[in-house]
A and B are shown apart, each in its own frame.
Chain A
Amino acid sequence: MALESQLAERHARILRSPVDGQSFKKLIEASLTWLRANQQTVNALNVFPVPDGDTGTNMVLTMQAAYDEISASAERNFGKIAHAVAHGALMGARGNSGVILSQLWRGFARGFDEKEALDVPTMVRAFSEARDTAYKGVVRPVEGTILTVAKDIARAAEEAQSYVKNPIQLLEILVAAAHESVESTPNLLPVLKEAGVVDAGGKGLFFILEGMLRYINGESLEAPTTLVRPLSELVLENTLESIEPGQDFEVIVDFRPDKTLDLESFYEHLEQMGTSIQVGEGDGLYRLHIHVPTENLYTPIDYTRNLGTITKVAIENLIDQMDHTASRGGEMIPHVQIEPGQIAVVAVAPGDGIAKVFYSLGAAAIVEGGQTMNPSTKEILNAFENLPTDRIIILPNNKNIILAAKSVAELTVKKIAVIPSKSVPQGLAALMRLAPDGDFDQVVEDMTAALEEVESGEITIATRNVEIDGVQVKEGEIIALLNGKLVASSPTIEQATLAFLEKAHADHFELITLFYGADISKKDVSTIADRIRATYPDQEVEIQEGGQPHYPLIISIE
């Protein structure tokens, strides 16, 4: 009893002054702290036993971006702070749960408009708006997810409006409603029931509200029992073609040789001067391209002058160019030179090898990310903002990045289309249909149609015991997914791969490409490839370095 009255007194004290923007800031901070404390709990609520886009991590990073937007603000207006939270959440949105969370905040802020302080009717309206906005943001809403939890929260608010006395009382009701809603998500979504978990996004939303209430009640926001795992940061090697020592200048010489050029001896001479040698010829005119160190700057020019007539020389300082590129912040590395007005493709790539393949097929920019680290809306935006075109196509290459990619459209005036590629093989198949000078809508249609032309395989390590899609999986076993569906679980990568190929009817196709990950050696992959060739003698097998984490193989069958 004493405790209860203490709490009531505390609530009364808080409610004596209006809950304004600065108070809301504290609540958001509490949400973030409590969500982070429970990040691992949310991450563990994974349906598939695969290293997946972690919902908890995505929601924490989204909330972190929301809080960063207001942390230094002295604004007292509640509505204005709410709008800032929504903006920050959208910019930082990662993964499907992060995007939906950002839409919830957007609706919430709209409910407040520019209201000075919190009151019950506005709060009810805000949660209703939050629900409506989030549902509208999803093409095919699925029940038993964070959306359902948002809906149940809004309904509880609407029902309680007539009898609650103050916002704190309402919040208590909402936290209870969120809890109840989360617990019943498995009844709505069979896949959750099968896996024996509740919905992760819904649970995250519950923690966000509960964090606010715990702060008001003066309860600890420290991590409960489980330890917070450090952010699973995806550190990719810099995919920028780095300059080797001794490559200071790019020299291009056009010349017309006096007599037929002996190409072999020509190359031999050039190789002594520099690297990245390319020679082109057209109607007797030769173009030489070479990277040379400063001291050899004029050597290629002097050399070609002895062979014929020089018509043109161009020299560019590579070091200066590199510095310029590096200062732009590392995440985006423009590659194919996009001509103004052409269609540019931005692709999300989970490894440096895969990034290179995307570049080689004409992607204009790469955003690093994938299964274990979903890029934020802002990272995707940054990748194309500076490209000299307003026609942008995004390849998310992961089902958990599609929504974040779609929400980029809200942040830019450029014309954006998202091709819903759910895997690297799908993304590559789509990219191959890019006609940079084509009609935008037609190209989008062609690229989307190409998604169906390839079978995608993923070989990874099971993160826990489960039975799913009729396959019994033990933690630590190698599992194979065909187009996102679990099809095999085996003791070794080779066995899982062969089982996968059988399920995928690889014998009906022409080409099998293996993109090998960071955790498997090229030698092991070659052994597996030899076994595949022996089993499928009529199919071509190609090996590519993918560099992706957690997935020893990503397989494309076409």
Chain B
Amino acid sequence: MSGHISIVTDSTADLPTSLAEQNHIHVVPNILVIEGKSYEDGQDISREEFYELLPKMKTLPTTATASVGAYQTLYEKLLKKGAQAILSFHASSLLSGIYNTAVTAAQAFAGRVRVIDSEQVSMGLGFQVLAAAESLAKGCSLQEILQHVKEVQEKIRVVAMLDTLEYVRRSGRVSWARAHLGNLLHIKPFIELRRGRVLSLGEVRTRQKGIERVKKMLTEIGAMDQLAILHTNAEQEARMLLEEVKNKIKNDPLVVHVTTVIGTHVGPKGLGFAAVTD
């Protein structure tokens, strides 16, 4: 298959494996370092296990991008297989170095690899990648694909309730979280990802109120094109949430157990959603 376009993303997109395979999307795993030992995202340790262990770990896990070399190897392989161009979609450059790594790797291929900053993470990124795959399948040109992705990006909302501010604060990636040196013990922050940044939507003090607020925010969106309920070991609540809104979504909604690479920075028992509005 010569002259086609290949789509690449990384594991922070949270694309379910079946969806990625079905749409011929190449996913580069990120790296998780737990007590000195490196894991490829999604390997060796299950998400359930990871989130169970996370609060008990003496030192917080750290995360790393795949190397520039790993990206170069993949790009080279795809181009050799006959790809005319590669679209490489990645997590917000304001939150992670993945985009920069991919950009550095792409420099070796004289404009044939186009790296896109999704300004999102998790399914906020995943839905953009799926939009690209959908356009590609329709036979759109590279420009048309990028145009479509941009339109989808504008309609994405990613909101989450975290069970504690602690992990975001310790991650050091969110400036306002550092000032919120929690005096109150029971604080569940609400965050929204917009234009690549993590914004504060305030807090609640009890989980029940938090879940109600997620539900309220979700219903206030109204009609949706696509929806993914996101959670970090809160499967049951995620399913409950889905029941509430599933008749308002055009496409099959997803329940996504968020990758450990993101989970390290948000902690267990987070609950939220990524929605593409109608």
Binding site for B on A (CB under 8 A): 260, 263-264, 278-285, 287, 335-337, 356-357, 359-362, 428, 431-438, 446, 453, 510-511, 513, 540, 542, 544, 558
Contact = CB atoms under 8 A, between A and B. Distances in A.
A29 to B, nearest CB: 46
B172 A263 contact: no
A363 to B, nearest CB: 10
A357 B187 CA distance: 11
Contact of A360 (B65, B172, B180): B180
B183 A284 contact: no
Interface residues of B, number: 40
A436 B200 contact: yes
A357 B184 contact: yes
Contacts of A283: 63-65, 96-98, 101
A540 B178 contact: no
Q: Chain B's interface: helix, strand, loop or mixed, by majority?
A: mixed
Contact of B201 (A280, A438, A513, A558): A438
B186 A511 contact: yes
B222 interface: no
A362 B180 contact: yes
A437 B179 contact: no
Contacts of B186: 511, 513, 540, 542
B239 interface: no
B185 interface: yes
B33 interface: yes
B184 A542 contact: yes
Given A432-B202, A434-B202, A287 B172 contact: yes
B71 to A, nearest CB: 14
Interface of B: 33, 36, 59, 62-65, 96-98, 101, 170-173, 175-176, 178-187, 192, 194, 199-209
A399 B65 CA distance: 53
Contacts of B170: 280
Nearest to A264: B59
A333 to B, nearest CB: 13
B258 to A, nearest CB: 18
B199 A435 contact: yes
Contacts of B63: 283
A424 to B, nearest CB: 12
Contacts of B207: 510
B199 A432 contact: no
Given A357-B184, A360-B183, A260 B202 contact: no
Given A356-B183, A357-B183, A433 B205 contact: no
Q: Which of A283, A336, A511 has the most chain B CB atoms inside 10 A of its CB? A: A283
A372 to B, nearest CB: 23
Contacts of B171: 280-282
Contact of A435 (B96, B201, B205): B201
B213 to A, nearest CB: 9
